[in-house]
Chains A and B, each alone.
Chain A
Amino acid sequence: MSSNKINRRDAIKGLAAIPVLGAFLLGADAKSDHDNGIKQEILDELNIEPATPNPTGSMNGDVLRVGIIGYGGRGEHLIRSIGFASPKWLADMKENAAKDPKDTRLRDYLEQENLNVQLTAVCDAFDVRGELGVAAGTKDGFKPKQYRDYRKMLEDPNLDAVVIATPDHLHAPMVIAAVQAGKHVYVEKCMTHKVRETVEMYDAVKKSGLVFQLGHQHRQTASFLTARELVKKKVLGHINLVQTNTNRNDDNGAWQWEIHEKGNPQTIDWDLFLGNAPKIPFNAEHYFRWRKWWAYGTGLSGDLLTHDYDRINCVLEMGIPASCSASGGIYTHRDGRDVPDVFQVLMEYPDFTMGATQEAGKEKGMTFVYSATLGNQYDRGTLLMGHDATLELGEQLVIHADPQSTRYKDMIEKGSVSLEVPMYAYDPRAKGVDAVTGATAKYFANKGLMYTYRDGKRVDSTFLHLREWLSAIRNGHKVSCGLEEGFQEAISAHMASASFLTGKRVEWDAANRKLKNVSDSELAGVGML
């Protein structure tokens, strides 16, 4: 080895890696072909395109003057979403961000688009909350006007639109008054409190021609829009059962909200709060925890069933069920409330079909199940079950092929569709997770199919939902949860409540827009007419 010439032996040693590299390239290429081949075969078969959000327009033009009715917990969030965070929230978030760099809520809020909106008026029956709303809305030297009575507020000509986030029993009277005063409306779910007022409100809004949006912000969630595409392409086959759930196990989730120390007959306009509810003396618990009583709230039907119902209605467009039965009881919070805390609902859709993969006529009809408890928080997931596959619907979409599928029979036999792992997963948030030790490619099968929230930024869906409403006012396009969707949501929820309260299986008479199999006097008897 002392020679300066490079001898053959040294050269071979020096270049020993070349055959290894050759083997590497052959192996890597074969593996890539195999993995991509399977992935591509599934993607070609499913042909899923991540959905793009509904187009909305620009926020340019005159400032839109918005008022809020009901500046409680939800009202505060709604108003923050259009650019009016309360001073306390800003201070809290600043502190949280300093403690935890993962907490980007303040940054997300500050980076949010300016919606060119002025908060002109704040209405709340409780003066303390009204004052907090005014503090949040005070910006650039402008201070919103404060009202107790929404009717006074609606008389203000310097008001274009209102956001309503009051207890449910006040929604319909307020929406009707608002559209009659010529104001566009955004109202929280549940859209209404009873059956007949739902029809009256529907007609009043329809007649007004104003822009109406119901507060189901998940209609903006990218994964649900994609799920709709996927169901239309019969990826699941005939969907015959949908399972939705609520599982909560904390006081806040059971509506045991804080009773404000300053809440008393002097600071709260009790008659305004009662509205059309039965007249009773001032009761702070009824005021601050109104969801616990049917007189003001709509129980699990209106608060949480509506979320799941509308999520599925957004994907399947199945509308109002032909019939509905519900049962449950007060089993976990025996504290004087009269709404159930364990609640099960069955909605029947005998004519439902979005296409089937088996012979014509074999499959038709679907049951929607909602199952809730406020005494356990195990996450059961939302499942859409079809003949060919099951879809787990959440922020992510995960599809499991069914072993007996007709559509995927050949792919299952060939092994390109595995029954052990999901055949497809879609996550609009992440590009994927990987690392030097990771063997996770299959688990995160969605990697190549990236679709981030909006322009790569995480955006609050409540913001997007309100933005869509404001843009519809300015630009005249459709909203994603308008009057028709709201009507379907409210009637379906009321069918569940009416069934629970009367013990009857309630049906829907679409031609006459009323409930069947239960008389008006029975409905009136349980406060649902």
Chain B
Amino acid sequence: MNGTNSISIYTPAQTWLLVILRMLIGWHLLYEGVVKLWNPGWSAGGYLMDSQGPFANLFYKMAANPSVLGVVDLLNVWGLILVGLGLLFGLFTRLACVGGILLLGLYFLSHPALIGVQYAMPTEGSYLFVNKNLIEMAALCVLLVFPTGMMAGLDGLISQWRSK
């Protein structure tokens, strides 16, 4: 991306709506990370053991090994926080998008909304194949190809400061 040049191709409404979308997702992921960080008893173990679908065995294995689970917990909490901050501030926006897509992709694969699967964890809506993890992941894909960090974010400031 060539910094400020790309601004001209979005209308102001397009720009700000994309920025708002980026910040909303950033807020959400940041809060999910912070909640887990603030709760010393939190672990992904229960969620992983609740996995279903074709990749379930992989997630059970993660949960079964305490040292692997420790790493998974750490990566999850800090992954969410860093991705959340990145999206909120428009800092390393593309990297943050990719990180968010990866995390959401793993949540989606461990809890796919397939026909006939049931989860111990209560969910708040009704889903068939498409669930909110998938939609949030798709929204991050949109932000990856329509980047906004240069227009409203620290990426833009850093780029200008560097080119001085």
0 or 1 for each of B27-64: is its CB under 8 Å from A? (1 = yes):
11111101110111111111101100000010011001
The majority secondary structure among interface residues of chain A is: loop
- A447 pairs with B27, CB closer than 8 A: no
Within 8 A of A (CB), among B1-47: 4, 7, 19, 23, 26-32, 34-36, 38-47
Task: Let me know if B94 is at the binding interface, CB within 8 A.
Answer: no
Task: Let me know if B120 is at the binding interface, CB within 8 A.
Answer: yes
Within 8 A of B (CB), among A88-104: 101-102, 104
- A32 pairs with B40, CB closer than 8 A: no
**B64 contact set on A, CB distance < 8 A:** 101, 104
Task: Let me know if A13 is at the binding interface, CB within 8 A.
Answer: yes
In the complex the two chains form, what is the Cα distance from A441 to B41 in whole Å?
12
**B26 contact set on A, CB distance < 8 A:** 17
Task: Let me know if A432 is at the binding interface, CB within 8 A.
Answer: yes
- B164 pairs with A4, CB closer than 8 A: yes
Task: Let me know if B118 is at the binding interface, CB within 8 A.
Answer: no
In the complex the two chains form, what is the Cα distance from A432 to B39 in whole Å?
10
In the complex the two chains form, what is the Cα distance from A11 to B43 in whole Å?
39
Minimum distance in angstroms from B6 CB to a CB of chain A: 11
- A450 pairs with B41, CB closer than 8 A: yes
Instruction: Report which of A10, A17, A28, A447 forms a contact with B41, defined as CB distance below 8 A.
Output: A447
- B123 pairs with A437, CB closer than 8 A: yes
- A4 pairs with B160, CB closer than 8 A: yes
- A436 pairs with B29, CB closer than 8 A: yes
In the complex the two chains form, what is the Cα distance from A389 to B79 in whole Å?
41
Also in contact, A433 and B47, with CB within 8 A (given A4-B164, A16-B152): yes
Within 8 A of B (CB), among A1-24: 1-2, 4-6, 10-11, 13-17, 20-21, 24
Minimum distance in angstroms from B25 CB to a CB of chain A: 11
Instruction: Name the residue among A6, A17, A101, A447 with the largest chain B CB count within 10 angstroms.
Output: A17
In the complex the two chains form, what is the Cα distance from A71 to B26 in whole Å?
62
In the complex the two chains form, what is the Cα distance from A438 to B89 in whole Å?
25
Task: Let me know if A365 is at the binding interface, CB within 8 A.
Answer: no
Closest to B34 in A: A28
The majority secondary structure among interface residues of chain B is: helix
- A1 pairs with B4, CB closer than 8 A: yes
In the complex the two chains form, what is the Cα distance from A268 to B55 in whole Å?
51
**A437 contact set on B, CB distance < 8 A:** 107, 123-124, 131-133
Task: Let me know if A430 is at the binding interface, CB within 8 A.
Answer: yes
- B61 pairs with A101, CB closer than 8 A: yes
**B28 contact set on A, CB distance < 8 A:** 436
- A17 pairs with B88, CB closer than 8 A: yes
Minimum distance in angstroms from A51 CB to a CB of chain B: 17
Also in contact, A433 and B46, with CB within 8 A (given A17-B153, A28-B31): yes
In the complex the two chains form, what is the Cα distance from A10 to B44 in whole Å?
40
Minimum distance in angstroms from B66 CB to a CB of chain A: 7
- A431 pairs with B42, CB closer than 8 A: yes
Minimum distance in angstroms from B84 CB to a CB of chain A: 9
Minimum distance in angstroms from A32 CB to a CB of chain B: 6
- A456 pairs with B66, CB closer than 8 A: yes
Closest to A102 in B: B60
In the complex the two chains form, what is the Cα distance from A32 to B40 in whole Å?
13
Task: Let me know if B109 is at the binding interface, CB within 8 A.
Answer: no
Within 8 A of A (CB), among B76-106: 80, 88-90, 103-104
In the complex the two chains form, what is the Cα distance from A529 to B121 in whole Å?
52
**A17 contact set on B, CB distance < 8 A:** 23, 26, 88-90, 153-154
Also in contact, A432 and B160, with CB within 8 A (given A13-B152, A16-B19): no
Q: For the complex of A and B, list the 6 residue pairs with the smallest distance between their C-beta atoms, beginning with the closest.
A: A433-B46, A14-B157, A431-B43, A17-B89, A13-B152, A450-B41
- Selected A-B contacts with CB under 8 Å, 22 pairs: A2-B4, A4-B163, A6-B164, A17-B89, A20-B88, A21-B89, A101-B60, A431-B45, A432-B41, A432-B43, A434-B47, A435-B47, A435-B111, A436-B28, A436-B29, A436-B107, A436-B133, A437-B124, A437-B133, A438-B121, A443-B122, A448-B40
B residues near A, CB below 8 A? Answer: 4, 7, 19, 23, 26-32, 34-36, 38-47, 49-50, 57, 60-61, 64, 66, 80, 88-90, 103-104, 107, 111, 120-124, 131-133, 136, 151-154, 156-157, 160-161, 163-164
